[in-house]
Structure 1
Amino acid sequence: MPLTPDGSTQLSSTRVRFALLALALGGFGIGATEFVAMGLLPNLASDLLPGLYASAPDAANAQAGWLISAYALGVVVGAPTIAAAAARWPRKQLLLGLLTAFTLGTIASALLPTFETVLAARFVAGLPHGAYFGIASLVAAHLMGPGKRARGIAIVLGGLTISNVIGVPTITWIGQMSGWRVAYLVVAAIFALTFVAVAVFVPFQAGNPKATMRAELRAFGKLQVWITLSIGAIGFGGLFAVYTYVAPLVIEITGLAAAAVPLILVVVGLGMTAGNFAGGALADWSVRRTMYIAFGVLILALITLGLSAQFLAGLLVGMFLVGAAASALSPTIQARLMDVAHESQSLAAALNHSSLNVGNALGAALGGVAIAAGLGYLAPVWIGVGLSALGVLLTVVTFSIDRSRRHRGHHVPYGTQLIPVVRQR
C-alpha cells in the first residue's frame, strides 16, 4: 500500500483513489468556471452589453471575450504570487483556502450587475486557479509514487478535461435555458462540494519548511523556465483562439442552431480527456517527443478545421483533434517546467497554468481583434495555426539548449531527475 506523504503510515489504495478523485473534482469545477463562458458568450454579450449587441452583435461578442481574458489574467497574476508566498503552508489547508476563494469569486460573478463588475469578478475568480492546480498536482504526484509523476498530474487535469465532456455542456445548456447567472451558481456549488471532498479524503501533506518566497522566485532567473513558459503561453494560444469563439463558429460558419453548441463542447471535451491522459502517459516516456507530437497534431487539426469548418464532419473532427492535441501538451509542459525549475517545485507546478492562461488571454484577445476587424469567425483558427507554429519553434530552442549543455558536460533535466552528463574525450 502507498505511503502517506510524510512516510509515517500507510494509506489504503481506496483512500488514495478517493483523494485523487477529490483533487480531480476541483479540476472539474475549474474547467466549468473557465470554459462555460465560451459556450454562453452570446448570452453574456446580450445581457451585459444589450445596446451594443442590438446594433453590432459581432462587436458585442468580441467585447464579451474580455470576460474570458480577465479570468485568464487572474490566473497569470495569482499562480506565481500564491504559490511562492504559500510554499511552506500545509498543502491540504492551502487547497481548502483556494477552494473557498473559488466559491466566493464564482458567486460574485453570478450576482454582480454590470459588465465592468463582472469583468472584475472574473479576474478575482481566476486568482486561485494556477495555485490550486500546482499544489494539487504536487499532492497527486506524491500519492502516485515514483515514476508516475506526469500521470498524477494528468489525473488532476483530468477533472478539467472531463468537465469539458460533462460539466461544461450541461452547465451551458442550463445557462441557455435559465440564464448565465444560474449557470455560474451551479459552478459555485461544485466548488463547495469539492471543499467538502478535499477536507474528508485528502491526507495531510506538509509544505516545504525550507521554502521561502525568495527561493521559489529563483526559478525566474532560469532561461529554460522562461522558454518553457513561452511555449505554453504562445503555443497553447492556438486552442483558445478557437475555443473562445466556438459558439459563433458553430452558428455562423457551420450553420447549426444554438442548441448544437453544447454537443460540440462535448466533442471538444472528449478530445481534451483523451489527449490529457495520453499526454500524461507519453510524458512519463519522453517529454521532448511528446511535445513535438502534440504540436504537430495541433497544427494539422487547426488547418483541418480552418479548411472544413463549414461542414459538420470537418467541425467535429477538427474540434476533437484540437482539444486532444492541446490537452496532451498541458501535463507535458508542466513536467518540463518542474524539471527546469529544479528546487522551485511549488512555483513551477503553478506557473504552468499561468503560461497556459496567457495563451488563453492571448488567443481570446487576438481572435477578438480579428473578428472585430471584420475578418470573420474563421480568422481565429488561422491565428491559432500561427501561434502553434511559434510554440514548435520555442520547443526546438529549449531542447537545443539541452543538447548544447549536454555537450559541455552540464546537468540536463531528463524525466524526473537531473542526470550528470560527462563530456566524452
Structure 2
Amino acid sequence: MARRNNLLIFILTIGVFGILNTEMGVIGILPSISEHFHVSVSKAGWLVSFFALGVAVSGPTMPLLFSGINRKKVMLLVLGVFVLGNIVSIFTSNFTILLIARIIPAFFHPIYCSLAFTVAAASVSKEEAPKAVSKVFIGVSAGMVVGVPIASFIASVTSLQMAMVFFAIVNGIVFIVTLIFVPSLPVEERLSYGTQFSVLKKSITWLSIMTVILLNSSVYGVYSYLAEYLKTVTNIPSNTISLLLFIYGVANIIGNIVAGKLLTKNANKFVASFPFILGTVYILLFLFGPFTLPMAFITLIWGILGGVGGNINQYWLSSSAPEAPDFANGLFISSCNVGTTIGAAVGGLFISEMGIQYIVLVGILSLMLSLVTILLRNYMYSPTKQLSV
C-alpha cells in the first residue's frame, strides 16, 4: 500500500510539473514566439497573461463541476486536453490559433492541480497529509522555475517547435503512466454543488481566502521584479541574475520539503510566525540590496520561504473547508492567481512612484495585512471558539 501511494504521489508530482511547465515554460521562449509569429513581445506575453486569467476564472468552478466523476478519468481528460493543445501549438503558424490552444487548457488547469492535492492528501493519514501535498508542490515549483530555462535552451539550440514538443512530451508521458499505473479513483461520496458552495457561508473560508491572496501578493509582488531589482539596485550582470533566479527556484523546491514537515506539527503557530520571518528577509533585502554576496544568501532564504508560503496557502484554504476538498483547492488556485495579479500590479505602482528599491514595501504591507487575517482565523478557529458565521 505504501509503495502504491508513493508511486501515485510521484505521478501526481510529475503531472503538475507538466501542467505548470506548459503554463510558465512559455516565458522562456516569448522572444522566439514574437519573432516566429511576427508579433510584438508584449503581444506574445498574452500567452502568459491570458492563461493566468483563465486559471483564475475557472479555479473555483471547474473542480466543482468535475468533483463527482472518477478522478482517474478526469485526470486523463485534462492531460489529454493539454497534449492536444501542445500538439496544435507545435504545428500552427497562426498566433490567434496558438492563443486559443493555450486558453482552452488553462480552464482545465485547476481541475488537475486541485485533484492532485486532494488525492495526495487522501492517500495518507490526516496527520501526514501536509507532507504528501508538499511532495506534489515540488512539481509545482519545478514547473514554474525549471521549465523556463529548459524551454529557452531547447529553442536556442534547436527551434521554437522543439521547445513546444518538450511540453507535449512531458504531458504525454504523464498521460500514459496515469493510464497504466494509476488505479481507478471513484468518488466514494459525491457532494452536491450546494453542499460544496455552502463552505462560502463560513467566515473561516473567507478569512483563509484573504490570507492566501495577501500571502501570495507578498511573495510575487516582490519576486515579479526581482530581475529588475538585481539589475538596478544590486547592479550585477545578466548571467549572474540568471544564476540567482535559478538559486531562488531550487530553494523554492527545498521550501516545499521543509513546509511538509513543519505543517504536520503545530500548523497554526507556524503559519502565524511566517509573516514575521518573511518580513525580516524583506528588511534585509532592503538594507543589503546593493551588495552581491548578501543578496545571494538572501535570495536563497527567500526562495525557501517562497516554497514554504505556497504550501501554507494550500493548507490554510483546504483546512478551512475539509468537507469540500476539491472546491477548496480550486479556491486556493484562484486565490493564488488573484494574489499574484494584485501583488504585481501594486508593485508596478510602487516602482513608478517611489523607485525599484522600495518594492519590498509591497511585500511588507501584504504581510502585515495577512497577519491580521491569520490571527483572526486562529482566534475564531481555536478549540474553545469554533465559530461558523
Shorter-normalised TM-score: what interval? 0.7 to 0.9
Q: 1:323 to 1:31 in 2, by over 3 A?
A: farther
- The 5 A counterparts of 1:232-311 are 232-311=212-291
Could you say if the C-alpha distance between residues 131 and 237 of structure 1 is closer, same or farther in structure 2, counting changes exceeding 3 Å?
same
CA 100–351 in structure 1, closer or farther in 2 if over 3 Å, else same: same
Deviation of the 1:28 alpha carbon: 1.7
Structure 1: gaps of 5 or more residues: 3-12, 54-59, 413-425
Counterpart Cα distance in 2 of 1:216 and 1:14: 32
Alignment equivalent of 1:389, drawn from 360, 364, 368: 368
Is 2:68 aligned against 1:88? yes
Does residue 129 (structure 1) correspond to residue 130 (structure 2)? The answer is no
Q: Which amino acid is the alignment partner of residue 133 of structure 2?
A: I
Aligned partner (choices 20, 24, 27) of residue 13 of structure 2: 24
1:154 touches 1:276 (CA, 8 Å); kept in 2? yes
Deviation at 1:369, TM superposition (A): 4.4
Q: Percent identity?
A: 25
Superposition deviation, residue 39 in structure 1? 5.4
Equivalent-residue separation in structure 1 for 2:133 and 2:188 (angstroms): 19
Give the 5 Å matches for 1:39-78: 68-78=48-58
Q: Is the 8 A contact 2:37 2:93 kept in 1?
A: no
Q: Residues 183, 205 of structure 1: CA spacing in aligned structure 2 closer, same or farther, 3 A cutoff?
A: same
Is the alpha carbon distance of 1:271 and 1:238 closer, same or farther for their aligned partners in structure 2, counting shifts above 3 Å?
Answer: same
Decide whether the 8 Å contact of 1:76 with 1:358 is kept in 2. Answer: yes
CA RMSD, Structure 1 to Structure 2 (Å): 3.2
**Matched-pair contact (CA < 8 Å) for 1:218–1:344:** no
Shift in alpha-carbon separation, 1:107–1:81, aligned structure 2, 3 A: farther
Query: Counterparts in 2 of 1:405-424, with a 5 A limit?
Result: 406-407=383-384, 410=386
Partner of 1:144, secondary structure, is coil
The match for 2:168 is 188
Cα pair distance change 1:243/1:313, threshold 3 Å: same
- Secondary structure of the 1:17 match is helix
> 1-side partners of 2:162 and 2:232: how far apart?
26
| 1:400/1:44 CA distance change after superposition, 3 Å | farther
Aligned to 2:141: 161
Residue of structure 2 in register with 1:316 after alignment: 296
Question: Which of the numbers 88, 92, 99 marks the counterpart of 2:79?
Answer: 99
Please give the alpha-carbon distance, in whole angstroms, between the structure 2 residues aligned to 1:142 and 1:106: 30
Q: Distance in 2 between matches of 1:99 and 1:42?
A: 27
Deviation at 1:147, TM superposition (A): 2.0
- 2:222–2:360: 8 Å Cα contact kept in structure 1? yes
Aligned mates of 2:300, 2:30 — CA distance in 1:
20
Aligned residue in 2 for 1:222: 202
Say if 1:348 and 1:407 are closer, same or farther in 2 by CA, change over 3 A: same
The one-letter code matched in structure 2 to 1:173 is F
Shift of 1:157: 1.0
Cα separation, partners in 2 of 1:316 and 1:30, compared to 1, 3 Å:
farther
**Displacement of 1:370 after TM fit?**
4.6
Number of residue pairs the alignment of both structures matches:
387
C-alpha distance in 1, partners of 2:240/2:79?
A: 32
Please name the residue that 2:191 is paired with. Answer: 211
Alpha carbons 2:86, 2:165 under 8 Å: kept: yes
More divergent stretch after superposition (270-279 vs 205-214): 205-214
**TM-score where L is the length of structure 2:** 0.85
Cα distance change on mapping 1:376 and 1:85 into 2, 3 Å = same
2:25 match: 36
Whether the 8 Å CA contact 2:26–2:148 is kept in 1: the answer is no
Q: Quick check: 1:279–1:290 contact (8 Å CA) kept in 2?
A: no
C-alpha contact 2:317 2:329 (8 A) present in aligned 1: yes
Partner amino acid for 1:21? F
Q: Which moved more, 1:257-266 or 1:329-338?
A: 257-266
For residue 379 of structure 2, the aligned residue among 384, 400, 406 is 400
- Superposed CA deviations along residues 111-147 of structure 1, whole A, max 9, x for unmatched, are 5754x77666554443223221221122112222342
Offset of residue 171 of structure 1: 2.8
**Of 163, 168, 180, which residue of structure 2 is paired with 1:200?**
180
- Is the CA contact 1:161–1:269 (under 8 Å) kept in the aligned structure 2? yes
Q: Quick check: 2:207–2:377 contact (8 Å CA) kept in 1?
A: yes
3-state SS in 2 of match to 1:236: helix
How far apart, CA to CA, are the structure 1 residues paired with 2:86 and 2:343?
23
Residue 244 of structure 1: how far off its partner (Å): 2.8
Counterpart CA distance in 2 for 1:314 and 1:370 is 24
Which aligned pairs between 1:349-364 and structure 2 lie closer than 5 A?
349-364=329-344
8 Å CA contact 1:68–1:364 kept in 2: the answer is no
Residues 227/411 of structure 1: CA separation in 2 closer, same or farther (3 Å cut) = closer
1:163-182 to 2 correspondences below 5 Å: 163=143, 166-175=146-155, 182=162
- Show the counterpart of 1:15: 4
Indicate the SS of the match to 1:284: coil
